[in-house]
Amino acid sequence: MQTITTVSELRSTLAKARDKRVGFVPTMGYLHDGHMALIEASRARCDLTVVSIFVNPTQFGPTEDLSAYPRDFLRDEKLCREAGVAIVFAPDAREVYPAQFETFLEPGELAKSLCGAFRPGHFRGVATVVCKLFNMVQPDIAFFGQKDFQQCAVVRRMVVDLNLPIEIVTVPTVREPDRLAMSSRNRYLNKEERQRALAISRGLFAAEAEFRAGERQCEKLIAIARQHLDEVDRLQYIEIVDSDTLEPALSPLRHPAALCAAAYVGSTRLIDNLILRPETNAEYAIKL
């Protein structure tokens, strides 16, 4: 495995492997089993896997946790090596955003609801850094986790709108044994908060159970989820949206929809979602 920190070295190295299918897993580090699932998916479909580790400052708001975001590069590097990653790309902020950088990518309507309504500028930063990383790596396939559902939608739209020759694959959310969605931010939770955080997935899965039993009214499904969310400190949203447009889903549900939630437990903001697919109980695969 190679660890590379500059764009020039990355391009030089990848130029020697252009006859191979390149898979790309963009991360902000502090890797967990969710990231490992993305790497595994890439290795199953690609000849060479690149993992980027970069805590992107432009997607954090002024009061958010950029300085406190968990970092452990040596641990991440070891995990990547053991997982069979070919290249770890770990640029610093000056390499990604050189002096006098001023060109940003502005996403559209997909970025305005859900998390976008509470984190102004977040998806502008996400779209910009992902586009830059795509240009740096030039992968054939890029892998993202379903937990970041809105991010996946924004990235898929960007790839289509900008004619980027990259396939986007969304990998199902990886969960702890008690169903808490894996996240690097889970480490912020103390023992008591960790238990209360389970209210989020508990509410989503309760609503999904009713959906599988035949309930198709969005308002009722949301109300069922809300019954379990009293334990969080601040609920930002619990919504059912169309899986493609992210617009509020219409009742009765006849098309794939995403049940999405964001809440604070203590000072930690957590997100989660489940896909509701009326046509079948089979897992919904998100594709371009």
- Average pLDDT (168-172) is 98
User: Contact, 35 vs 27, CB < 8 A?
Assistant: yes
Q: Which of 69, 63, 83, 78 is nearest to 28 (CA)?
A: 69
Q: What HEC string does the chain produce?
A: CEEECCHHHHHHHHHCCCCCCEEEEEECCCCCHHHHHHHHHHHHHCCEEEEEECCCHHHCCCCCCCCCCCCCHHHHHHHHHHHCCCEEECCCHHHHCCCCCCCCCCCCHHHCCCHHHHCCCHHHHHHHHHHHHHHHHCCCEEEEECCCHHHHHHHHHHHHHCCCCCEEEEECCCECCCCCECCHHHHHCCHHHHHHHHHHHHHHHHHHHHHHCCCCCHHHHHHHHHCCCCCCCEEEEEEEEECCCCCECCCCCCCCEEEEEEEEECCEEEEEEEEECCCCCCCCCCCC
Structural tokens at position 239: 């919504």
- Tell me the torsion sign for CA atoms 148, 195, 187, 83: negative
pLDDT at 286 over 80: no
Band (pLDDT 50/70/90 cuts) for residue 283 is very low
> Which of these is catalytic: 32, 35, 122, 255?
35
- Categorize the per-residue pLDDT at 288 as very low, low, confident or very high, splitting at 50, 70 and 90: very low
CB 128 within 8 A of CB 106: no
pLDDT tens per residue, range 152-167? 999 999 999 999 999 9
Per-residue confidence band for 284, with pLDDT thresholds at 50, 70 and 90: very low
The tens digit of pLDDT for each residue in 221-276 reads: 999 999 999 999 999 999 999 999 999 999 999 999 999 999 999 999 999 999 99
In the block, tokens 């890029």 appear at: 142
- Of the pLDDT bands very low, low, confident and very high (cuts 50, 70, 90), residue 63 is confident
Q: Give catalytic status of residue 228 as yes or no.
A: no
Say how many C-beta atoms besides its own lie within 10 A of residue 223's C-beta: 13
pLDDT of 280: 54
Calpha distance 51→126 (Å, rounded): 16
Does the global pTM surpass 0.85? yes
Q: Can you tell me the distance from the alpha carbon of 24 to that of 155, in angstroms, rounded to the nearest whole number?
A: 14
- 287: pLDDT strictly greater than 60: no
Mean pLDDT of 189-216: 97
pLDDT tens track for 97-123: 999 999 999 999 999 999 999 999 999
Residue 281, pLDDT > 80, answer no
Cβ neighbors of 194 (< 8 A, separation 6 or more) are: 180, 186
Q: What token pair was written down for 95?
A: 């390499």
Average pLDDT of the chain is 95
Measured CA to CA in angstroms, residue 154 lies from 170, 233, 243, 246 at distances of: 12, 28, 12, 10
Please state whether beta strands 48-53 and 167-171 pair in parallel, antiparallel, or not at all (unpaired).
unpaired
Q: Is residue 288 a contact partner of residue 164, using CB atoms and an 8 Å limit?
A: no
Q: What angle do CA 43, 47, 52 make, to 5 degrees?
A: 65
Q: How far apart are CA 210 and CA 10, in angstroms?
A: 49
Cα–Cα distance measured from residue 102 to residue 239, given in angstroms and rounded to the nearest whole number: 34
